[in-house]
Structure 1
Amino acid sequence: MKALYKEGPSAGLALVERPDPIAGADEVVIRVLRTGICGTDLHIRRWDDWAASEVRSPLIPGHEFYGEVVEVGDLAHDIKVGDRVSGEGHIVCGMCRNCRAGRRQMCIRTVGLGVHRDGAFAEYLSLPAANVWVHHADVEPEIGAIFDPLGNAVHTALAFPLVGEDVLVTGCGPIGLMAIAVARHAGARYIAATDASAPRLELAARMGADRVIDVSADDVREAQTALGMKEGFDVGFEMSGAASALPTMIDNMNHGGRIAMLGLPSAPFGVDWGKIVTHMLTIKGIYGREMFETWNAMGAMLQTSPALRSAIGHIVADVMPASDWEQAFDAAASAGTGKIILDWTRL
């Protein structure tokens, strides 16, 4: 099969021939139709400090995918050949305290698809059957390919009740944009979104943000005034990892406000812990998706809400042949774009 491959611990990838995967007893083999390019994949291609410390090469990267089941292991069940599927990229041990308590997203021995074992940037992929998500309704391949990051957005957006609440979203990358659409679907009153990219702020408005703020020029407090708010935001989604984002969010939260933090900072930064205490703020770290409540929630929302499904579709900026992977990766690395999808039927 053709696959994007990192042969060793250095920058770059290559489209090469690799052996077809074989399904273990509890696994399936999936013919990959579409894959999304994630920030993790960009790190792996660049081979930066994070990749060097975390990734096990040689490796086929990629963890956002949509495909068709072509082989089912003897011990796999509730999955059949021909099913259209995506998959949970965190493969867990099943035996640690969290796994045995049903909190699999908190497994202490998580193995990452496309990070610690061969992933989805290939014509075929093997995956434990327990990680396969069978789509229960027709889903466009491009949307199926971004179920993984959509799950991050849903996990973040549904961390706290939203009905009637005022929401601040810092960072309008693809996951932040999807979180805006989910918050609008879930009943938020006002949604304000920040970024420094004009194209992403335009997308944020299309997703349902009532006010967008270019943080390179404007202050978040001006958005509160424009929206007629008097007491600060009730819920915050920190999606950027920027050093200034969380302190700015803390300064604009109502007393008792709740913050879901998905963005990964590249370096430590200071926050006003006194304000967190005296304003009784809650900060909750978000990683990945709840297995599999988040998958159920996002599948149901897309199935029953054409408006949300349309909004999520706007996140896809381009679908490119897998043979043009270099141009696709360069596009994904450029600021201001939505999701770039690779089409593995075009090689």
Structure 2
Amino acid sequence: MKALVKQKAEPGLWLTEVPEPAVGAGDVLIKVLRTGICGTDLHIRSWDGWAQRSISAPLTLGHEFVGEVVETGRDVADITPGDLVSGEGHLVCGSCRNCLAGRRHLCRATVGLGVGRDGAFAEYVALPAANVWVHRHPVDLDIAAVFDPFGNAVHTALSFPLVGEDVLITGAGPIGIMAAAVARHAGARNVVITDVSEPRLELARKVGASLALNVAKTSIADGQRALGLREGFDIGLEMSGRPEALRDMIDNMTHGGKIAVLGLPAQEFAVDWSRIVTSMITIKGIYGREMFETWYAMSVLLEGGLDLSPVITGRYPYQDFDAAFDEAAGGRGGKVILDWTA
């Protein structure tokens, strides 16, 4: 089968033939229809320091996908050939304290699809049935392909109650934009999002952000004044991994505010802990999705009318992967999709 592979320990990707994956007793074989390009895939393609430390070549990339079930192992129940599915890309041990307690998203032995094992940028992918999410209601294939990052957005945005709250999101990448849509849909009063990319800020406006601020020109405090906020933001969602973004967020939170942090910084940095303590600010780290509570919430949000279509800004046949990766790396648009049916 065709697959997009990190074939050598150097920059680049290779479209090549690889064997179809084996299907164990508890596995599901999926014919891949569409995939989404993630920042992780960009790191692997460029072969940066993180990739060099984390990846062993050869490796088939990809963890954002939607496909059709074509075969199931003998021990698999409730999943049948023909089902439309997406996959949870964190494969867990099942036997540690957190897994046994039902907190699989906290497993210390997590292996990442397309990072620690061959992934979904291929014509077929095999996954444990426990990692397969069946779409029981109609869903657009492009949106189903990005359920993984959509889950990051939902997990972050729904970490704290949102109804009637004023929400600040720092970082208008695709996940930040999806989080803005979720926060608005879930009942936030105001949703303010910041970035320095005007095209991405415009996408945030399309999904319902109350105010999209270019912080190279306008401060968050100016945004507060424009909305008539007197005491700061109730909820903060940090999506950028930028030190200045988190610092600005802390400076603009109300006393007792709550911050969920998804953005991964490149290195350690200082924050004003005295401000956090004296303002009684709660900070919660977010990684991945809650399995499978977040997935259930995603499906319900879409059934309830949440529109993520503006977030999909690029579509390419898989043979044009270089152009697709170049667009994704440009940092000006939303999610870029590869079509594996061409």
Output the TM-score relative to the length of structure 1: 0.98
d(CA) in 2 for partners of 1:105 and 1:23? 24
After superposition, what is the alpha-carbon deviation per residue over 1:121-156, rounded to whole angstroms, capped at 9, x for unaligned? 000001001000000111111111010000000000
After superposition, what is the alpha-carbon deviation per residue over 1:274-331, rounded to whole angstroms, capped at 9, x for unaligned? 00000000000000000000000010110122xx1x3x11100021000000000000
Match of 2:313 in 1: 317
Counterpart of 2:251, as a letter, is D
Percent identity of paired positions between Structure 1 and Structure 2: 62
Is residue 58 of structure 1 aligned with residue 54 of structure 2? no
Is residue 333 of structure 1 aligned with residue 319 of structure 2? no
d(CA) in 1 for partners of 2:65 and 2:80? 18
Counterpart of 1:315, as a letter, is V
Aligned with 2:288: secondary structure?
coil
d(CA) in 2 for partners of 1:119 and 1:157? 27
d(CA) in 2 for partners of 1:335 and 1:124? 29
d(CA) in 1 for partners of 2:13 and 2:24? 27
Match of 1:74 in 2: 74
Counterpart of 1:336, as a letter, is R
Q: Equivalences for 1:258-337 in 2 at 5 Å?
A: 258-305=258-305, 308=306, 310=307, 312-337=308-333
d(CA) in 2 for partners of 1:176 and 1:207? 11
d(CA) in 2 for partners of 1:191 and 1:68? 36
d(CA) in 2 for partners of 1:237 and 1:96? 29
1:207 Cα deviation from its structure 2 partner:
1.3
Is residue 43 of structure 1 aligned with residue 8 of structure 2? no
d(CA) in 2 for partners of 1:337 and 1:168? 21
The alignment yields a C-alpha RMSD, in angstroms, of 0.7
Match of 2:188 in 1: 188
User: Which residues of structure 1 form unaligned runs of 5+?
Assistant: none
Q: Equivalences for 1:158-307 in 2 at 5 Å?
A: 158-305=158-305
Contact (CA 8 Å) 1:236, 1:259: kept in 2 or not?
A: yes
Following TM superposition, the consecutive aligned residue runs of length 4 or more in structure 1 with deviations greater than 3 angstroms are none
d(CA) in 2 for partners of 1:304 and 1:180? 16
1:22 Cα deviation from its structure 2 partner:
2.0
1:11 Cα deviation from its structure 2 partner:
1.4
Contact (CA 8 Å) 1:90, 1:110: kept in 2 or not?
A: yes
Count of aligned pairs between the two proteins? 342
1:112 Cα deviation from its structure 2 partner:
0.3
After superposition, what is the alpha-carbon deviation per residue over 1:223-259, rounded to whole angstroms, capped at 9, x for unaligned? 1111011000000000001121000000000000000
1:342 Cα deviation from its structure 2 partner:
0.1
Counterpart of 1:2, as a letter, is K
Match of 1:120 in 2: 120
Aligned with 1:314: secondary structure?
helix
d(CA) in 2 for partners of 1:173 and 1:77? 37
Q: Equivalences for 1:116-155 in 2 at 5 Å?
A: 116-155=116-155
Aligned with 2:259: secondary structure?
strand
d(CA) in 2 for partners of 1:313 and 1:272? 38
After superposition, what is the alpha-carbon deviation per residue over 1:169-207, rounded to whole angstroms, capped at 9, x for unaligned? 000000000000000011000111100000111111111
d(CA) in 1 for partners of 2:42 and 2:110? 21
Shifted more, 171-180 versus 9-18: the winner is 9-18
d(CA) in 2 for partners of 1:314 and 1:136? 23
1:56 Cα deviation from its structure 2 partner:
2.5
Aligned with 1:187: secondary structure?
coil
Aligned with 1:299: secondary structure?
helix
d(CA) in 2 for partners of 1:247 and 1:266? 15
Output the TM-score relative to the length of structure 2: 0.99
1:342 paired residue among 332, 338, 342 = 338
Match of 1:16 in 2: 16
Contact (CA 8 Å) 1:56, 1:117: kept in 2 or not?
A: no
1:8 Cα deviation from its structure 2 partner:
2.8
d(CA) in 1 for partners of 2:282 and 2:55? 33
d(CA) in 2 for partners of 1:233 and 1:105? 28
Match of 2:89 in 1: 89
